[in-house]
Chain A
C-alpha cells in the first residue's frame, strides 16, 4: 500500500514522517523530473503488504508554486502515476486550521481516502482551541481523525494503527469541485474562493476562542529583523558557525587521514605486490579517503543549518536578505544554497529547489560553485603556507589567515557579480515572487536534525563520491602508464645516470616515481598545455596538478606530492611545502614565488574543477546547456583572474 504524507510547511510533518518510519527511510529520484522524494516503511517485515509512506514536500495547495512541489500535483491527480497514493495522511497545525484545511479539502475532493492528523493538539488546547471532530466528520464523511503531538511522539501509535487498519469508504463527490490545470490562474482563484467559503463555514462553528500569542514572537522578530541588529546577529551566527566548523572538523579529518594511511600501509605489508594492490592503494583507497575527508565539515555545517532552519530563524534570514539579494537577480531564499555551498556545492545546488522563481533558482545554481567549498581548503592552505609569510599585520592580524579570508571573500564577491551579469542576460519566464510563511520559533528536535545531516552527507557521498572515486581510478591509470614503452625507457635512462647509484633506496624510489609520472599520459598532457599556462606563471608540473584536479580540486595537493616525490609520511603538507619552496625554473628563479602562488589561489577560487557539481547541475537544470555555460564562464574567470594576479605581483 502506498501512503502519501502531505501537509503545509511547518506543521511538524517531517517529525511525523520520522516517527512513523524511523531509520527505514530512503531518498529516491522522482522519475522524469529532478525532484527527490523521501520514502519510508511503516513496518519492518519484508512482505507484500508492506506499507510505504511517501513524504511529499510541504505545500499549501495541490497547485505547485515551485519545482519541487510539482510532484504533489502530478502524483495526486494522475491515477497512473507510480506515486499515486491509496491513502493520504494530511498533517495539519491544529492552531491554524483555517489555512491548513485548504490542502486537506482539496485532497479530499480528489476522492483520495484521507486520515486527517491534527498535530500540535497540545498547543491548540493551551490556546483554548477546541476542535469539534464530530462536525468535521459530518462535513467530510469517510475520513479518520487522529490527534497527535509529534514533538513528544504522542498519538503516533494511534496513527500507525489507523493506517494499518484503514477501511476505505466511498466519499460523496463534491459538485462544486473542478480540477484546474497548473497554469490556469482564473480557475484556481475561483476554486479557492469557493473552498474558503466552505472551510470558513466549518471552522466558524468548529473552532472556539482563538487567542494568538503572535505578539511574543513579534517582539523577538522586531530585533531579529532590525536594520542594524538583524544583520549583526546574522553575521555573528555565521562567524560562530564557520569558526566552529574549522576548529571541530580538524580532529575527525586527521583521524580519517591517519586511518586510511595505515590501512593502505597494512595492505601493502600483508599482501604481495602486484597491479591490483597498486590500484587499491594508489587509486581506490586515496579516492575513498578523498571523499571521506570532507564528511566532518559537511556534516557540521548542515548540523548548524538545520538547527537554524528548525528553530524558524532561517526564514527570518530569508526575510532580511531578500531585498539585498534581489537587485542581483537572486532571492532571500538564495542565502541557504549559497551558505551550503561553502561546505559543498552539491547540496547547495540541490537546496536551490525551494526557490519558486525559475530565473532566481537558475542564477543561484549558476553562482553557487563560486563559493569556496571545503575541497578548496587543502589547496588554499598549502599555497598560503608556501608563499605567504607567517607575519602579523599591525601586530595582531595574522597575514596567512587574512589571505584565507580574502579568498573566501573573493569567491563571494565573484558569485554576486556573476549573478548580476546573469540577471541582465537571462530572460525571465515569469515574474518572481516570494510569498512565505514566517513560522513561529521552535526548539529544534535532535532526531530531525540528525536525519537531515545524515541525508545531506549521503547526498554528498553518493553524488560526489562516485565521481571522485571513478576519476581517481582513471587518473591513477593515466599517471601510471604512458604511450608505448616511454615510461620504461625513461626508467632505464635514469638508472644509468651517474649520480643515481649514489642515492639511498628511498631517494631512488622517489626519483623513479617522479620520472614515471613525467613520462606518463598525464605528464605528456601537462607538458602539452605548458604554453597555455605559462603566462599564469605555471610550469608543466603545476599543469599536471591542474589536470589531475580537474575532476576534484583537492587532488591538486596529492598530485604535487607525487610530482615532487614527497613520501606521504608524517606531516606531508609541511614537507611538501618545504620541497616546493626549493623548486626552481630553468632560469634559476623560484617556481613558487608570491605571484605564482597567488595566481594559483585565484585560479582555484574561480575554476569549476569539480565533475560532481557539473553532474548535479546537469540533473537539476535538466540540460547540458547550463553546466557547460557554467564551466566555460568559470574557466574564463579563473584563467584571466589568475593572469591578472600574476601580472600584478610579478
Chain B
C-alpha cells in the first residue's frame, strides 16, 4: 500500500520509502520507518494531502505520497 491510496481518517504506519532524491527530504520531515501517520484531510481535487506526523501536520503532493509505503497494522 502507498500513502497516496489511503482514505481520510485512516491511521497507517510507514513501512518504507522508495529510493528517490526526495527520500532524505521526507525523512528529515519525520517520515521514518514505523512512524504512525494519520490522514487528516485533502485539498480540493484530492491533491495535496495533509498527514499528521507525530505532533505536526505535513502536506504532501500525491506524487510524493506515492513514494511512501505504508501498512495498516
A227 at the interface (CB under 8 A from B): yes
B61 at the interface (CB under 8 A from A): yes
Q: Is the CB of B61 within 8 A of A192?
A: no
Q: Is the CB of B54 within 8 A of A96?
A: yes
Tell me the bound Cα distance from A61 to B17 in angstroms. 18
Which of B19, B30, B40, B55 has the most chain A CB within a 10 Å cutoff?
B55
Tell me the bound Cα distance from A222 to B42 in angstroms. 8
Q: Is the CB of B55 within 8 A of A210?
A: yes
In the complex, chain A residues whose CB is within 8 Å of the CB of B20: 185
Residue-wise interface mask of B (18-44) relative to A, using a CB-CB cutoff of 8 A (1 in contact, 0 not): 011111111111101100001011111
Minimal beta-carbon separation of B17 from chain A (angstroms): 8
In the complex, chain A residues whose CB is within 8 Å of the CB of B23: 185, 188-189
From the candidates A196, A323, A435, name the one contacting B45 in the complex (CB within 8 A).
A323
Q: Which residue of B lies closest to A192 (CB)?
A: B27
In the complex, chain B residues whose CB is within 8 Å of the CB of A322: 43, 47-48, 61
Minimal beta-carbon separation of B53 from chain A (angstroms): 8
Q: Is the CB of B50 within 8 A of A96?
A: no
Tell me the residues in window 67-123 of chain A with beta carbons closer than 8 Å to chain B beta carbons.
95-96, 98-99, 102
Q: Which 8 residue pairs spanning A and B have beta carbons closest together?
A: A188-B24, A227-B44, A192-B27, A61-B28, A438-B57, A99-B30, A323-B45, A60-B28
B15 at the interface (CB under 8 A from A): no
A380 at the interface (CB under 8 A from B): no
Q: Which residue of B lies closest to A217 (CB)?
A: B57
Tell me the bound Cα distance from A60 to B54 in angstroms. 15
A320 at the interface (CB under 8 A from B): yes
Q: Is the CB of B64 within 8 A of A435?
A: yes
Residues of A whose CB lies within 8 Å of any CB of B are 60-61, 63, 65, 95-96, 98-99, 102, 185-186, 188-189, 191-193, 196, 210, 212, 214, 217-218, 221-222, 225-227, 230-231, 315, 318-320, 322-324, 332, 430-431, 433-440
Tell me the bound Cα distance from A196 to B26 in angstroms. 12
Number of interface residues of B (CB under 8 A): 37
In the complex, chain B residues whose CB is within 8 Å of the CB of A222: 41
From the candidates A315, A324, A430, name the one contacting B21 in the complex (CB within 8 A).
A430
* Dominant secondary structure at the A interface: helix
Other A-B contacts than A189-B17, A196-B27, 18 sampled, CB-CB below 8 A, are: A60-B28, A61-B25, A65-B25, A96-B56, A98-B54, A189-B23, A189-B27, A212-B52, A214-B40, A214-B56, A214-B57, A218-B41, A222-B41, A435-B22, A435-B58, A436-B59, A437-B57, A437-B59
Tell me the bound Cα distance from A28 to B51 in angstroms. 37
Tell me the bound Cα distance from A210 to B56 in angstroms. 12
Q: Which residue of A lies closest to B49 (CB)?
A: A319
In the complex, chain A residues whose CB is within 8 Å of the CB of B50: 221, 225, 319, 438
Q: Is the CB of B21 within 8 A of A436?
A: no
B60 at the interface (CB under 8 A from A): yes
Minimal beta-carbon separation of B67 from chain A (angstroms): 10
Q: Is the CB of B48 within 8 A of A212?
A: no
Q: Is the CB of B48 within 8 A of A434?
A: yes
In the complex, chain B residues whose CB is within 8 Å of the CB of A438: 50, 56-59
Q: Is the CB of B58 within 8 A of A193?
A: no
Tell me the bound Cα distance from A218 to B57 in angstroms. 9
Q: Which residue of B lies closest to A127 (CB)?
A: B55
Minimal beta-carbon separation of A219 from chain B (angstroms): 10
In the complex, chain A residues whose CB is within 8 Å of the CB of B44: 225-227, 230-231, 320, 323
In the complex, chain B residues whose CB is within 8 Å of the CB of A214: 38, 40, 52, 55-57
In the complex, chain B residues whose CB is within 8 Å of the CB of A96: 54-56
Given contacts A65-B25, A96-B56, A319-B50, contact A225 B32 (CB under 8 A): no
Tell me the bound Cα distance from A191 to B53 in angstroms. 20
In the complex, chain B residues whose CB is within 8 Å of the CB of A323: 43-45, 47-48
Q: Is the CB of A320 within 8 A of B28?
A: no
In the complex, chain A residues whose CB is within 8 Å of the CB of B21: 185, 430-431
Tell me the bound Cα distance from A210 to B59 in angstroms. 22
Q: Is the CB of A319 within 8 A of B64?
A: no
Given contacts A99-B54, A319-B59, A430-B21, contact A63 B48 (CB under 8 A): no
Minimal beta-carbon separation of B22 from chain A (angstroms): 6
Minimal beta-carbon separation of A456 from chain B (angstroms): 25
In the complex, chain A residues whose CB is within 8 Å of the CB of B40: 214, 218, 221
